[in-house]
Chains A and B, each alone.
Chain A
């Protein structure tokens, strides 16, 4: 094999993997960006929501035995479809029972104070979820063990001299991430609910005067953010071993993606996640693997230096 096909193969492989990995990161970032963009809430429990989505997929495939009964792919699709409404309901209840009640009994509380309290509350929720997970599931890493994780679609060029492997589990995850992100975009920009959510994000006071129930919008947003994060978790679980603290492996990527995309720009968060996936993969072409994480943050800092409002955000845009 000459250097050219070998080098070309490495570049194409890095781009393909970067796009697949980045799409999943994109969905995680969109979910976080949605909660921040609409509610202005920094959610520390986002990684733990991801973890719950992973164990949910495990429960569907292995716990209920659907993986063996109907096959891995249909069971995974079922898990993905079920994760959104189930965790939407959990998020809705969590907001109604905990987050939405903060500041209710203190009418004089400023918005800033309320956000600080909510931020600490999400940290508490995170600790409860991760330690609860540890008690319930134990510390031993588990995985879904689907054949999709170790199978690939192979694209060939130059009479087979250049081969690009597209992991089937990652393709499924990327398709689900794209579909969910597009669905969210349509919801925000093509429906009345979306209009209300954007209005609640832009100016909560004016939205209230216009008859929009801002608290209800926030509850809906939190539920939807939780549901989308759990969907991302269920998809990541198809190829990534996990334990109750797995959220920590991804939470930095989520925040970096949201800031990179533009704080408050929900769809910009998707592009932020995609850029991180691409930078992670492309960096390995010229730099040692150990610098993969460092490269992401060097690129992140460079972009922040040039465009402080993020890649796709406008300083006044929120949603």
Chain B
């Protein structure tokens, strides 16, 4: 009886130690995903997993890796949790059992990705990421590529993009901006260069600049200043959506909502189904979100099918970028013709595509510089229209025309 229990216990331990994998065969080429599957960022991890699973299904259905005799792909998922330590442990678990793993992607948050890539770099495992902190590719690492524009490029390029979009849709370039931002590091890092000469160089005057400490209890005073100073648009950076809701609600109350005063914000979580549920379609109407990646016209034909299979109301950056990352690994494997990590990484770095995997990222081409940073990328602008967020810029990739009030 005791022996039976011990065997059952050992079997249970063995099962628990197995990584979460999607129908893997021993001869499959494995692609790793390290993402937050538990904790407060679990939703984002789930969205990434859906993207990876869909891509692997599609690649295998299309015949696998042709250059390697039609080898099939399978997915290995490790839970990054919500802390640097848990993410690092996940990466260490992965490299300890890396047999058959040809490359990986993850881990959503930049701080988690920084920890994961410390481990994957030492293990010489090719790694792709949608995280955009500059530091990820600032450390001279050879085995990592960032598939979206880096944070500093996002901050510098996003405002000219907004001004171009406004001019194209309203016929007049905005000349006055109001800034409302919370006091968090991420928010201030984005706003600081714009506040300290960035807007001035663009010919835009800052007419109000309000910084609040979250949580915000009331937004009346800030929105009153918007009404008094009459900016052409609002740059609004709030890391938490309760604060975002308070500001949007107050703007609506003061007659500035629903796009009457165009509001531009940062962070794809503000274009999520959860945001819609918490805030409601009325208040979100017209809100523009700066996004490093978003489903575009290039995927117009495939998107309805992908969305349906994902079970999500729409696909966002987390899903489409991870979907694209797997296709990019497939492309690199085809070109390398081998699962050797050095050859796969060399093929990834040598990527220069205007179609194929490039269709899943914004910009005119998919290529990388010698640091592994994205070349040819573009900043995306996503706008809430009728209760759903659509890509409105870059113009060639947009799925909807921008709504911007005519002067």
Tell me the bound Cα distance from A239 to B279 in angstroms. Answer: 11
Given contacts A139-B40, A141-B278, A281-B220, A249 and B228 within 8 Å (CB-CB): no
Using known A-B contacts A241-B242, A289-B210, determine if residue A281 contacts B278 with beta carbons closer than 8 Å. Answer: no
Is there a chain A Cβ closer than 8 Å to B213's Cβ? yes
Give the CA-CA distance A10 to B221 in the complex, in Å.
Answer: 8
> Is A290 in contact with chain B by the CB < 8 A criterion?
yes
Pair A249/B215 contact, Cβ less than 8 Å: yes
B-side interface size class: 20 to 34
Complex contacts, B212 vs chain A, CB 8 Å: 289-290, 292
Contact status B224-A13, CB under 8 Å: yes
Given A150-B283, A165-B253, A280-B217, the answer on whether A143 and B245 have CB atoms closer than 8 Å is yes
* Residues of the A chain whose Cβ atoms lie less than 8 Å from the Cβ of B211: 288-290
Q: Are A17 and B253 in contact (CB under 8 A)?
A: no
Least Cβ–Cβ distance between A25 and chain B, in angstroms: 9
Measured CB to CB, the closest approach of chain B to A117, in angstroms, equals 32
- 0/1 per residue, B217-228, Cβ < 8 Å to A? 110111011001
Q: Are the CB atoms of B228 and A9 closer together than 8 Å? A: yes
A143 to B: closest C-beta gap in Å: 6
The 0/1 profile, CB within 8 Å of A marked 1, for residues 237-258 of chain B is 0001110011001101110010
The verdict on A167 contacting chain B, using a C-beta distance below 8 Å, is yes
Contact code string B249-292 (vs A, CB < 8 Å = 1, else 0): 11011100100000000000000001001111011000000000
A151 contacts B by Cβ under 8 Å: yes
Interface size bracket, A side = 35 or more
Closest residue of chain A to B283 (Cβ to Cβ) is A150
A43 to chain B, nearest CB (A): 21
- Chain B residue with the shortest CB-CB distance to A6: B228
A25 to B, closest residue via Cβ: B217
Q: Give chain B nearest CB distance to A55 CB in angstroms.
A: 14
> Which residues of B have CB within 8 Å of A152?
253-254
Known: A150-B257, A167-B253. A140 touches B246 (CB 8 A): no
A147-158: CB near B (< 8 Å → 1, else 0) gives 101111000000
CA distance A17 to B228 in the complex (A): 16
Cα(A241)–Cα(B248), bound, Å: 12
Q: How long is the Cα–Cα vector from A14 to B228 in the complex, in angstroms?
A: 13
* B110 interface hit (Cβ, 8 Å): no
Closest approach, in angstroms, between the C-beta of A23 and any C-beta of chain B? 13
Q: A13-B220, A150-B252, A151-B253 are in contact. Are A240 and B246 (CB under 8 A)?
A: yes
Q: CA–CA, A288 to B225, complex, Å?
A: 12
Whether the pair B221, A289 counts as a contact (CB closer than 8 A) is: yes
Min C-beta distance of B206 to chain A, whole Å: 14
For residue B89, CB closer than 8 A to chain A, the reply is no
Q: What is the CA–CA distance of A280 and B219 in the complex, to the nearest angstrom?
A: 11
A275 close to B (CB within 8 Å): no
Q: A9-B228, A150-B283, A241-B241 are in contact. Are A140 and B221 (CB under 8 A)?
A: no
Is the C-beta of A63 less than 8 angstroms from some C-beta in chain B? no
Counting CB contacts under 8 A, is A284 at the interface?
Answer: yes
Residues on the B chain within 8 Å of A284, using CB: 221-222
Q: B183 CB to closest chain A CB, in angstroms?
A: 6
Q: Type the 1/0 row for B84-117, where 1 means its CB is closer than 8 Å to any CB of A.
A: 0000000000000000000000000000000000
Residues of chain B contacted by A249 (CB below 8 angstroms): 215, 217
Contact (Cβ within 8 A) A293 B224: no
Chain A residues contacting B274 (CB-CB under 8 Å) are 140
Greatest chain B CB density within 10 A among A1, A167, A289 is at: A289
Contact mask B177-196 → A, CB, 8 Å, 1/0? 00000010000000000000
Instruction: Map CB proximity to B onto A4-30 as digits: 1 under 8 Å, 0 otherwise.
Output: 001001100110010001000000000
Whether A241 and B245, one on each chain, are in contact in the complex, defined by CB atoms closer than 8 angstroms, is: yes
Chain A residues with Cβ below 8 Å from B278 are 140-143, 241
Residues of B within 8 A of A (CB): 40, 183, 210-213, 215, 217-218, 220-222, 224-225, 228, 240-242, 245-246, 249-250, 252-254, 257, 274, 277-280, 282-283
> Could you write out 7 A-B pairs with CB less than 8 Å apart?
A140-B274, A145-B280, A149-B249, A288-B210, A289-B210, A289-B213, A290-B211
Known: A10-B228, A290-B211. 10 other contacts (CB 8 A): A9-B224, A9-B228, A21-B218, A141-B240, A141-B278, A143-B279, A150-B249, A152-B254, A241-B245, A292-B213
- The 6 closest A-B CB pairs, nearest first, are A284-B221, A241-B242, A150-B252, A17-B220, A152-B253, A289-B212
